[in-house]
Chains A and B, each alone.
Chain A
Amino acid sequence: MMKGFQNIKWQRYLNYVAIGLVLIIFSSLALAGGLPQSTVFKLEEIAISIILAVSLSLVVGFLGELSLGHAGFMCVGAYLGGKVSAILVEPLGNGILTLLISLAVGGLCAGLCGFIIGLPALRLKGDYLAITTLAFGEIVRTIFQNTSPESFGGAIGLATPRFNRKYFFIICFIMVLVTLAVIQNLIRSKHGRAITAIRDNEIAARATGVNVTRYKLTGFIVAAVFAGLAGVLFSYTQSNVSSATFDYNYSIEILVMVVLGGMGSINGSIIAATLITFLNKELATVLTGDLAVLKDLIYALILILIVIYNNSPKLAGFREKYNLKNLFARLTKNRFSKHDADDTKRWDVVPTKIKMDALLSTDFVVTEVKADKPKEEDHE
């Protein structure tokens, strides 16, 4: 029992350790001077993608709502944070103070936008949040595109001051750790359990006294704030912030990361974000011109296939039989995965999912017999 308990703790901090290790390895390489410029840029981009994917994962995977305007929140952060840094770079210099102030401004403004958008949309059930966030992304883009050249640069884009980017990826990765700390702790807290309860059964959650609108709004605003922070970091990595970057397709790309990583899995989002950002960079050199769309085609197919495979009621039996966890259990003869039988060990599967059908059905003796059958076959 005690051993199992320690095991949980170790698993919980695995992703911090992994990202910390990556950070230490690359920063020591950078200090030794052995890191090419292109790798530094790639690392920055990966870190920004991870922040975006993890924050969207909170909304899509844990809250169960679809947000299609994540790039819009990032846009708000990038423009406002970039503007603040452009103003502050004269009096304060391009040090850590400028960065912190612009991060605070960008994050807060994005959070405020999240509040304004979330308030009407999250009170409603259904797909309203998806369409409202989509509309929000378009509104933000239109507004920044048509600003005067003196304020936000208009169609040319906002020029941001140039910073020394040699070690900037370290700051990006520290932000990744901050994001993880906030979002993971939120999900593991009682508030997080309320959020997942809403996802699993809104009516049941409401009946047990969960303030649905408040929790939905909280989750959504937290995600918006981190998208804004990612935007500020993005503005630091660019010499020119252009509104065309934050289009609908960018929001979809972040969504692909979340879906590919697995809904409701933070670690999955991290891995998928790293993978997709890396592949994007690599493929950009291979696929040029109209061939570049091949990448989008593959993303679309992945998105459709994964969602249908994971959610189709008709494939439920197939999934049960051939999922990775069961295969692993079979290969190792249940040596490692015996404890996994109850969800309590895995923090990302918060045990709120009450199988109402199983509880309510009068013939659950029959279903139990059915469930036992495959086991007997295994013994044979």
Chain B
Amino acid sequence: MEFLITFVNGLSLGGIYAMIALGYTMVYGIAKMLNFAHGDIIMVGGYTILVFLAINPLVAIAAAVVFCMLMGIVIEKVAYKPLRGASPLAVLITAIGISYLLQSIAQMAFGSAPKFVVIADLGTLRIGGIAIGYSTIITLACSVVIMIGLNLFVKFSRTGRAMIAVSEDKGAAQLMGINVNNIIMVTFAIGSALAALAGLFFLLKAPTINPTFGSLPGIKAFTAAVIGGIGSIPGAMVGGLLLGLIECFAQSVPAIAPYTDAIEFSILIVLLLVKPTGLLGKKRREKV
């Protein structure tokens, strides 16, 4: 019984991680950069929900998704686009700067104290001895739908196929008439929208938000993306679900519960030592 509850919780948490990891992995695959500010987009989404919650929860969710999409596009245009073609180190440091900037702005606007964001009380499902929150089930269902939808989008739509083309060979894609700048913009927009939804699901799990709300989930989701193989969309999903399960099962054992974060990050380091490309990543040959 206990096992089943932990399993469902783990899958649900893993679904959120997978959603964030998708943002990391898509941006990495297409723009070849590590978007450190991605985790803070989750926080931006959370605060947007807080601001618009007074009107209507559904309006708040829509507003968060739209605002985060715009935010993602603006960040890409202002901070990352000027650095296209510059050294990866410079892009990485700029991304960290953006992350730091978003956190500081949030703290200026909303203060560092945690704020309560109660979106809706969804109640608990009870079957026999099992009690699972409806929010957990909704999260799981939504993440499954989103993942399937994203997979279909990437595989079958024109934009999605252009995204794959750009991630495989930017120059050749450009020669084939794909507008690379637009594709990168779309990627950032989709990633940021997913981050906003992740923020929503985190708030359904635990209704408090503070300026560093997104940084730890962001780092963990990145770990998930690397575990699954960075640049690979199915990899991000597998990695996310795996990490969520590991986290929930580690937390269910009292002896190792305080060390949950350390365990998750240790898995990253061990994996890099054993299989640097991740579980589903492809090895790329480097050309001179």
Cβ-defined partner of B258 (8 Å) among A68, A142, A249: A142
Instruction: Give chain A interface residues in 299-332, CB to chain B under 8 Å.
Output: 299-301, 303-304, 307-308, 310-315
Residue of A nearest to B277 (CB): A124
**B52 interfacial by beta-carbon distance below 8 Å:** no
The proximity string for A residues 108-144 relative to B, scoring 1 for CB distances below 8 Å and 0 otherwise, is 0000000011011101111110111011101100110
Stretch at the interface among A6-14, A82-90, A289-297: A289-297
CA gap between A203 and B84 in the complex, in Å: 21
Residues of A contacting B: mostly: helix
Q: Is the CB of A252 within 8 A of B100?
A: yes
Q: Is the CB of B272 within 8 A of A132?
A: yes
Count of A residues near B, CB < 8 Å? 52
Count of B residues near A, CB < 8 Å? 45
Cβ-defined partner of A131 (8 Å) among B85, B86, B268: B268
Q: Is the CB of B259 within 8 A of A142?
A: yes
Q: A311-B86, A312-B86 are in contact. Are A297 and B108 (CB under 8 A)?
A: yes
Q: Is the CB of A139 within 8 A of B261?
A: yes
Instruction: Give chain A interface residues in 64-88, CB to chain B under 8 Å.
Output: 64-66, 68
Instruction: Give chain A interface residues in 248-281, CB to chain B under 8 Å.
Output: 248-249, 252, 255, 259
Cβ-defined partner of B219 (8 Å) among A135, A303, A310: A135
Return A128 CB to nearest CB of chain B, in Å: 6
The proximity string for B residues 253-272 relative to A, scoring 1 for CB distances below 8 Å and 0 otherwise, is 00000110110011011001
Instruction: Give chain B interface residues in 81-114, CB to chain A under 8 Å.
Output: 82-90, 92-94, 96-98, 100-101, 103-105, 107-108, 111-112
Q: Is the CB of A135 within 8 A of B223?
A: yes
Q: Is the CB of A143 within 8 A of B112?
A: no
Residues of B contacting A: mostly: helix
Return A148 CB to nearest CB of chain B, in Å: 11
Return B105 CB to nearest CB of chain A, in Å: 7
Q: Is the CB of B88 within 8 A of A311?
A: no
**B120 interfacial by beta-carbon distance below 8 Å:** no
Q: Is the CB of B104 within 8 A of A307?
A: no
CA gap between A260 and B76 in the complex, in Å: 23
Give the total number of A-B pairs whose CB atoms are below 8 A apart.
133
Q: Is the CB of A300 within 8 A of B100?
A: yes
CB-CB under 8 A from A66, the residues of chain B are: 89, 92-93
Return A353 CB to nearest CB of chain B, in Å: 12
Binding site for A on B (CB under 8 A): 34, 79, 82-90, 92-94, 96-98, 100-101, 103-105, 107-108, 111-112, 215-216, 219, 222-223, 226, 258-259, 261-262, 265-266, 268-269, 272-273, 276, 286, 288
22 A-B residue pairs with CB within 8 Å: A66-B93, A117-B269, A120-B269, A120-B276, A131-B219, A135-B268, A135-B269, A136-B265, A138-B261, A139-B261, A142-B259, A145-B258, A252-B100, A290-B111, A296-B103, A297-B101, A303-B100, A304-B94, A304-B98, A307-B94, A307-B97, A308-B83
10 interchain residue pairs of minimum CB distance: A135-B265, A303-B97, A311-B90, A300-B101, A120-B273, A297-B104, A304-B97, A300-B100, A311-B86, A146-B258
Binding site for B on A (CB under 8 A): 60, 64-66, 68, 116-117, 119-121, 123-128, 130-132, 134-136, 138-139, 142-143, 145-146, 203, 248-249, 252, 255, 259, 290, 293-294, 296-297, 299-301, 303-304, 307-308, 310-315
Given contacts A135-B219, A259-B93, A308-B94, 15 further A-B contacts (CB under 8 A): A117-B269, A121-B269, A128-B276, A135-B269, A142-B261, A248-B215, A255-B96, A293-B107, A296-B104, A297-B101, A299-B100, A300-B100, A303-B97, A304-B79, A308-B79
